[in-house]
A and B are shown apart, each in its own frame.
Chain A
Amino acid sequence: MGAALGASADGPTCYSRLTNEWICRQYVEDFRPEIQHATIEHLEITALSVLLGLVIAFPLALVARRFTRLESTVVGVATGIYTIPSLALLPLMVPFTGLSMTTVVIALALYALTILVRAMLEGLRAVPDEVVESARGLGYGAGRLLFRVELPLAIPVIMAGLRVATVSTVALTTIGSLVAYGGLGNLIKDGVNSNFRAELFTASVLCVVLAVLLDVLIVLAQRVLTPWTRGVRA
């Protein structure tokens, strides 16, 4: 009878089987390395996926813009990818890429891609024609026109898309726990399976915090990248 009390000398912690509280500082202190590892993995997967998405989306957007006939196809395929459930996409890829982080990164990059291609097309389309004409008149070639005139002006719209893509990717990364590479999702999964409330709650809150932090970071980056938008207001 008294054995349960003797289990720990300094009294039951808030995450013991008996109390199983949602919010528990003791859990965060005792499992700090595990939580840190999961958070770093989560960030890593998110960053790699969004970067890969950006790298693929850019040429796709350029091609879609250059050949207008392809545009509806590209946008259509992008929308089509979005209807594939994440839980279905991961198993589809496992025979090729195995139970690895690559599987998760490629799947998430595909989802990020769909948002980013659209944002890039919208951003480039929003560049005023007269600006493009004047640049041409000044003797800008296609490459310089794109990188020195069109892209900078498209940044606000592209950044808006990047914010959406990043925040969704942070949330989606949790699904990676299906192949054991889900960052904080691994903790969430373990929390459900072992009815460990503190673990589940802490990981969920950290997910949202990560999403908000990255969102703020992108907004700050945009302010640095587009100083002229601030100059107008000042």
Chain B
Amino acid sequence: MTVFGDTWDYLTTWANWTGDRGMLHLLEQQLILTVTALVLALVVGLPLALWLGHLGKGGFLAINITNIGRAIPTFALLALFVTADFPGVREFGPYGRAGLATLLALALFALPPIITNSYVAVREVPSDVKQAADGMGMTGAQKFFRVELPLALPLIASGVRLALVQVWATATIAALVAGPGLGRVITDGFFRTNYGKGIAGAIVVGVVALVLELLAAAAQRLVAPSRNGSSQDRDSSLSGAASTVAADVG
């Protein structure tokens, strides 16, 4: 099909990668955007969720916030932000037009899965282990940092990993409001019936998503090496829960 020939041509033409509107610049823009949004969501969500999980309170909210978040289309959220007086389409840092709106929408998108996963992670630490910590005379802080956090880390890490890939994928939606990122290539090609270009953009986004997923998996293994044997099934069942909990593409 000629479309795939066009795609190949677009991908192999160096001029399409360089320059201010080239794919490399857009890719960099989207990467920074993804990481910032994720960090923002982590800074806000992680302490809150871990604290609630440690206290064992607010479970209803912590778990249902993901369900609520899932029902709100990211596109609608982004559209509302862009149309409102604030943040509107104002530029923000390196993110270009509608940068602030995109950043906020993505951070809000990442927040629910991070909160729910981290809360569940701390709550799921076996109660006999917690009791043993109490019995050893640990204070609340000691129990949290020396017992709960290390045991919860694998699930927290898998939640963050899921959020990372999903934020990256969802960031392409910014193009629907003429915002930053690689989504531009997709929508540009699409609206000008240059399908080769559109598909080229889609491929680049998909490949980077895959690379991010692999990198995150490697990082996860570094931060929270999954122990073999008995913890294996716990790990898989929990990450299964995490993925059903966090599943939400833009």
Q: Which residues of A contact B (CB under 8 A)?
A: 79-80, 82-89, 91-92, 94-95, 111, 114-115, 118-119, 122, 160-161, 164, 167-168, 170-172, 174-175, 177-178, 185, 188-189, 191-192, 195, 197, 200-201, 203-204, 207-208, 211-212, 215
- Chain B proximity of A116: nearest CB distance (Å): 11
Interface residues as binary, B170-186 with A (CB distance below 8 Å gives 1, 0 otherwise): 10110111000001001
Our pick among B165, B187, B243, B250 for the contact of A86 (Cβ within 8 Å) is B250
Note all chain B residues with C-beta closer than 8 A to A91.
186, 189-190, 195, 198-199, 201-202
Does the CB pair B71–A170 fall under 8 Å?
yes
Residue of B nearest to A171 (CB): B73
Contacts A92-B199, A207-B73 known; A83 to B213 CB distance under 8 Å? yes
Assembly CA distance A115 to B175 (angstroms): 26
Kindly state whether residue B83 has any CB partner on chain A within 8 Å: yes
- Nearest 4 A-B pairs (CB), nearest first? A88-B202, A211-B71, A85-B169, A204-B76
List residues of chain B with CB within 8 A of the CB of A94.
190, 195, 198
Smallest beta-carbon distance A71→chain B, Å: 12
C-alpha gap A21/B247 in the complex (Å):
34
Q: Give min CB distance, B188 to chain A, whole Å.
A: 11
Please give me the residue from chain B that is nearest to A115 by CB atom: B247
Contact assessment for B205 and A88 in the assembled complex, using a CB-CB cutoff below 8 Å: yes
Do B73 and A172 touch across chains, with their CB atoms under 8 A apart?
yes
| Candidates B166, B198, B205, B247; contact of A164 at CB < 8 Å | B247
Q: Tell me if B250 and A192 are in contact (CB < 8 A).
A: no
A87 contact set on B, CB distance < 8 A: 172-173, 175-176, 183, 186-187, 202, 205, 250
- Give the chain A neighbours of B175 by CB distance below 8 A: 87
